[in-house]
């Protein structure tokens, strides 16, 4: 599975729900950190940043997927963007999910549900608690 397919697979688990930047970054971080061999990864180069693990390349991938009409980018004040799959993206994301084993699919679903269920502060705090090395350059105080 390449990095484009893993992004589509993660977003596909939400069935149309919108992801914030922190939710997509932390989802992909947890997959890269915890099940890389199950998805032919790791795919990203996460570094400690203002709000924990971050890889700018994820935004480049989302922009490329948007140009292919697979991801919808929703502008939401303060120059923040939110992300969700288009119908075509959902179909490709679902195929990507189905191409991996059941245990990996379940993990990705669980991670998606986890990040979508928490507030920004709760999610960043949970990541810092589990991966304190990612707090190094943080501007977030929990």
Query: Is residue 4 classed exposed, middle or buried when 0-12, 13-18 and 19+ CB atoms within 10 A define those classes?
Result: middle
pLDDT of the chain, 142 residues: tens digit per residue: 899 999 999 999 998 899 999 999 999 999 999 999 999 989 999 999 998 999 999 999 999 999 999 999 998 877 789 999 999 999 999 999 999 999 999 999 999 999 999 999 999 999 999 999 999 878 877 6
Query: Which residues in 11-50 are b (16+ Cβ under 10 Å) and which e?
Result: bbbbeeeebbbbbbbbbbbbbbbebeebbebbbbebebbe
CA–CA dist 96, 90 (Å, integer):
10
Q: Where are the domains of the chain?
A: 3-132
Q: Which fold has domain 3-132?
A: Arc Repressor Mutant, subunit A (1.10.10)
pTM of the model: 0.94
């Amino acid at each position: 599975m390449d990095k484009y397919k893993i992004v589509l697979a993660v977003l596909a688990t939400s069935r149309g729900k919108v992801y914030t930047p922190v939710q997509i970054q932390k989802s992909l971080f947890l997959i890269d950190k915890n099940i890389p061999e199950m998805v032919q990864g790791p795919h990203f180069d996460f570094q400690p940043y203002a709000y924990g693990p971050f890889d700018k390349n994820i935004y480049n991938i989302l922009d490329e997927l948007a140009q292919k009409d697979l991801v919808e980018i929703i502008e939401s004040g303060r120059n923040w963007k939110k992300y969700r799959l288009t119908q075509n993206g959902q179909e490709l994301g679902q195929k990507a999910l189905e191409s991996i084993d059941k245990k990996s699919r379940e993990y990705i679903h669980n991670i998606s549900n986890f990040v979508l269920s928490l507030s920004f502060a709760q999610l960043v705090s949970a990541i810092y608690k589990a991966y304190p090395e990612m707090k190094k350059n943080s501007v977030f105080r929990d």
